[in-house]
C-alpha cells in the first residue's frame, strides 16, 4: 500500500487506492472484488459466467450482493477456524 502511494502515476489513475484493483490493458482501473469478478466474467462470454439471460444475470448479482453483505460474518468464522480469533459463542450467535 505504501509503495502504491509513492507511485504518482498510479495515484493519478486510481486516486482511491482501494484494493484489490484491476488495471486493464487499456490502462483503465476498476476496484472492489465484485466489480472485478463481473468484468472478468464478461470478458469471456463463451464461458457464460455472467449468465446467458437477464434472469440468470440477476441471480448472479443476487448471490454476489449476499456474499458482499456477509463479509464480516465470513471473516469472523474463517478467523475462528484458523485459530486467529477466539470464539465467543454469545458474540457468534449475535452475528447470525
Contact between 59 and 51 (Cβ < 8 Å): yes
First to last CA, the chain: 33
The mean per-residue pLDDT over the stretch 9-34 comes to 81
Give 22: exposed, middle or buried? Use CB within 10 Å, 0-12, 13-18, 19+: middle
Contact between 85 and 76 (Cβ < 8 Å): yes
Distance (Å, whole) CA 18 – CA 46: 30
The mean per-residue pLDDT over the stretch 4-13 comes to 70
Q: Does residue 95 have a pLDDT over 60?
A: no
pLDDT digits (tens, 9 = 90+) for 33-82: 899 999 999 998 899 899 989 999 999 999 999 988 888 888 888 888 88
Amino acid at each position: 500500500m505504501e509503495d502504491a502511494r509513492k507511485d504518482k502515476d498510479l495515484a493519478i489513475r486510481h486516486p482511491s487506492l482501494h484494493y484489490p484493483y484491476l488495471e486493464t490493458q487499456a490502462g483503465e482501473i476498476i476496484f472492489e472484488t465484485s466489480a472485478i469478478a463481473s468484468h472478468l466474467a464478461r470478458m469471456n462470454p463463451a464461458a457464460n459466467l455472467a449468465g446467458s439471460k437477464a434472469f440468470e444475470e440477476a441471480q448472479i448479482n443476487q448471490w454476489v450482493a449476499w456474499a458482499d453483505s456477509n463479509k464480516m460474518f465470513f471473516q469472523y468464522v474463517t478467523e475462528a477456524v484458523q485459530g486467529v480469533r477466539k470464539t465467543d459463542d454469545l458474540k457468534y450467535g449475535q452475528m447470525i
